[in-house]
C-alpha cells in the first residue's frame, strides 16, 4: 500500500478574492474552497464565473440567479466532469471527497447480449447524472444539488469474458494477481464480472449515482460486493494540500502527474493497441484492494517510530533525508550515527520507483470506516485503487518488493482484491465497452 504517492501534486496556492470590511467573504471562501488536490481550485474557477455562485454562497442570499432563474450553485456543486472523452472519467479526475466501489456478477443465463444492454443503460445514466440532470424515474435523492464533480467509471473483470463468450479477447494483463504473504483476502469481497467506481464531492450525489447504477442492473447483474469511502472535504483546510490517510500520514506525494512526459505510456493502453487489447485502446487497468489498517497497533508507536516506518515526517510529508514534501528522497544519506536517514525497510524507500525499475501507477484511493469489530478495534483503512497500462509492470513488481520487507506490513492487512480492465472513454453516441461487446 504505497502511502506517499498523491493523486495530484499539491496546488501552488489559492485563488484570491477580495474581503469585505468585516472579513466575511474571506472566511466563507476558506470554508468553501476545495482541498482534495486540484478539485478545490478547479471548482472555484468554474463556480466564480460571473461571481454569482460565490456571492450567493457567502451572503446567505439565495436570490442570485443560476440557470433558469434558480439560485446559483456554489463552486463545489457546480463542477462538472465530461462523460465522453478519450479516457473514461474518474482516472485522472482530481480525487473527490466521497466514493463508492461496487462489483457485479452477471445473473445466471445472462451473456453478451444482456451485458451490452446493461452497459448501454449504465452509460446513458452516467452521462445524465454527471451533467447534473435527473434520469427517467429519478428518486430525487440528489435534488437541489449540481453535478458535484461526479464521475462513474466502468471496468470488466477476468470472469466477464467467460460469461460473455469473449475469452479470445481477454488480455493477458487480466491474468490473476499473484498471492502475497500479507494477504488475508476474502473471496466474497474480491473480483467480479463488472466493476463500477463512483466519486463525487457530495455524499448524496455519490449515493444517488450508486442507487441508479444498482437499479439499472435489473435482472442482468447482481451485486457481488460494495464498499464506501471518503476523503477530506472541500474547504476543510485553508489551502489545497496533499491528502492524509487514517494513519495521519500525508498520502500521495510522488504520484505520477499528467504533465510527466511518460504519463500516458505508464497509465494508459496505447491508442494503437492491437490483438486482444485492441478494444482497450486509451483504457487502463485498475487494481482494487481493501487494506485494513491496524490503527490500535499503529497509534501505539511513538511519532519517531511511525516516521521511520514510513520514511517521511508526519507533520509535512518531507523525507527523513531532508527538505520539503516534494524534495526527492536521498536514499544514500546517513545521519550522524552513520545509519541511513531513511531506513532500509521504510515504506517510502521500498515503494520508490527508482527501487522498482521505474514501475509506476496512478494511485486514487479512498479511506473507509465500517464500524467497530467484535474485538473493539476499528474496521478502517484504505480502499486502494491504482491505475496503470499494465498491472504486471505497475502494481505487481512494487507489491512484491513491499511483500519482502516493508516495515508498514506489520500494521496493515489486505482483505480483498480485484483486477479490472477499464476500456477507453466512450465517444458521442457510444457506450463504454462497445468496441468489445459489438466488435
Residue 297 has pLDDT above 50, yes or no: yes
The C-alpha atoms of residue 184 and residue 165 are separated, in whole angstroms, by 31
* Predicted confidence (pLDDT) per residue in 254-283, tens digit: 899 999 999 999 999 999 999 999 999 999
What's the whole-number average pLDDT of the chain?
Answer: 86
Answer whether residue 131 is part of any domain. Answer: yes
> What domain range is 161 assigned to?
28-55+75-168+184-232+241-437
Answer whether residue 18 is part of any domain. Answer: no
Answer whether residue 68 is part of any domain. Answer: no
- Under the banding of pLDDT at 50, 70 and 90, the label for residue 320 is very high
Q: Is the pTM of this model over 0.75?
A: yes
Residue 44 neighbours by CB under 8 Å, 6+ apart: 14, 15, 32, 33, 34, 75
Residue 31 has pLDDT above 70, yes or no: no
Answer whether residue 310 is part of any domain. Answer: yes
The fraction of the chain above a pLDDT of 70, given in percent, is 83
If you search the block for the grid coordinates 463525487, which residue do you land on? 200
Answer whether residue 265 is part of any domain. Answer: yes
Answer whether residue 19 is part of any domain. Answer: no
Answer whether residue 13 is part of any domain. Answer: no
Structure-model confidence comparison of residues 92 and 63, the more confident one:
92
What is the helix (H) or strand (E) element at residue 371, kind and residue range?
A: strand 366-372
The C-alpha atoms of residue 199 and residue 152 are separated, in whole angstroms, by 7
* Mean pLDDT on 46-60: 28
What local confidence, expressed as pLDDT, does residue 136 receive? Answer: 87
* Mean pLDDT on 190-216: 98
How many domains, the chain?
Answer: 1
- Span between the terminal Cα atoms of the chain, in Å: 37
Catalytic residue list: 251
Amino acid at each position: 500500500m504505497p502511502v506517499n504517492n498523491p493523486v495530484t501534486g499539491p496546488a501552488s496556492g489559492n485563488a484570491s478574492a477580495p474581503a469585505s470590511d468585516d472579513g466575511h467573504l474571506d472566511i466563507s471562501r476558506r470554508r468553501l474552497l476545495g482541498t482534495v488536490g486540484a478539485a478545490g481550485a478547479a471548482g472555484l474557477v468554474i463556480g466564480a464565473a460571473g461571481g454569482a455562485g460565490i456571492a450567493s454562497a457567502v451572503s446567505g442570499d439565495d436570490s442570485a440567479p443560476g440557470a433558469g432563474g434558480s439560485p446559483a450553485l456554489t463552486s463545489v456543486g457546480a463542477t462538472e466532469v465530461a462523460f465522453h472523452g478519450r479516457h473514461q472519467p474518474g482516472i485522472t479526475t482530481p480525487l473527490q471527497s466521497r466514493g463508492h466501489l461496487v462489483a457485479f456478477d452477471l445473473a445466471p443465463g445472462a451473456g453478451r447480449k444482456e451485458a451490452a444492454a446493461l452497459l448501454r443503460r449504465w452509460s446513458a445514466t452516467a452521462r445524465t447524472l454527471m451533467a447534473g440532470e435527473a434520469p427517467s424515474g429519478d428518486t430525487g435523492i440528489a435534488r437541489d444539488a449540481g453535478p458535484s464533480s461526479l464521475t462513474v467509471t466502468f471496468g470488466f473483470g477476468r470472469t466477464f469474458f467467460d460469461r460473455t463468450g469473449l475469452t479470445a479477447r481477454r488480455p493477458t494483463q487480466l491474468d490473476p494477481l499473484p498471492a502475497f504473504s500479507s494477504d488475508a483476502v476474502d473471496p466474497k469481497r474480491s473480483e467480479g464480472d463488472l466493476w463500477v467506481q463512483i466519486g463525487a464531492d457530495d455524499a448524496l450525489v455519490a449515493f444517488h449515482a450508486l442507487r441508479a447504477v444498482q437499479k439499472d442492473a435489473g435482472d442482468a447483474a447482481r451485486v457481488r460486493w460494495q464498499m464506501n469511502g471518503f476523503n477530506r472535504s472541500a474547504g476543510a483546510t485553508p489551502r489545497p494540500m496533499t491528502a492524509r490517510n487514517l494513519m495521519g500520514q500525508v498520502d500521495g506525494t510522488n504520484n505520477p502527474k499528467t504533465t510527466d512526459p511518460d504519463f500516458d505510456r505508464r497509465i494508459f493502453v496505447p491508442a494503437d493497441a492491437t490483438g486482444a487489447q485492441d478494444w482497450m485502446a486509451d483504457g487502463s487497468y485498475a487494481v482494487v484492494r481493501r487494506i485494513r489498517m491496524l490503527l490500535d497497533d499503529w497509534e501505539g508507536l511513538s511519532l519517531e517510530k511511525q516516521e521511520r516506518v514510513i520514511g517521511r515526517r508526519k507533520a509535512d510529508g518531507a523525507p527523513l533525508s531532508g527538505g520539503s514534501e516534494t524534495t526527492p528522497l536521498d536514499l544514500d544519506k546517513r545521519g550522524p550515527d552513520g545509519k541511513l536517514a531513511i531506513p532500509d525497510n521504510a515504506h517510502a524507500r521500498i515503494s520508490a520507483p527508482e527501487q522498482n525499475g521505474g514501475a509506476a501507477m496512478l494511485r486514487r484511493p479512498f479511506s473507509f470506516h465500517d464500524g467497530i469489530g467484535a474485538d473493539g478495534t476499528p474496521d478502517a483503512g484504505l480502499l486502494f485503487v491504482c491505475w496503470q497500462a499494465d498491472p504486471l509492470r505497475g502494481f505487481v513488481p512494487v507489491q512484491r518488493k513491499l511483500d519482502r520487507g516493508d516495515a508498514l506490513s506489520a500494521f496493515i492487512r489486505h482483505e480483498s482484491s480485484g483486477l479490472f480492465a477499464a476500456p477507453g472513454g466512450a465517444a458521442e453516441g457510444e457506450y463504454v465497452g462497445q468496441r468489445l461487446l459489438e466488435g
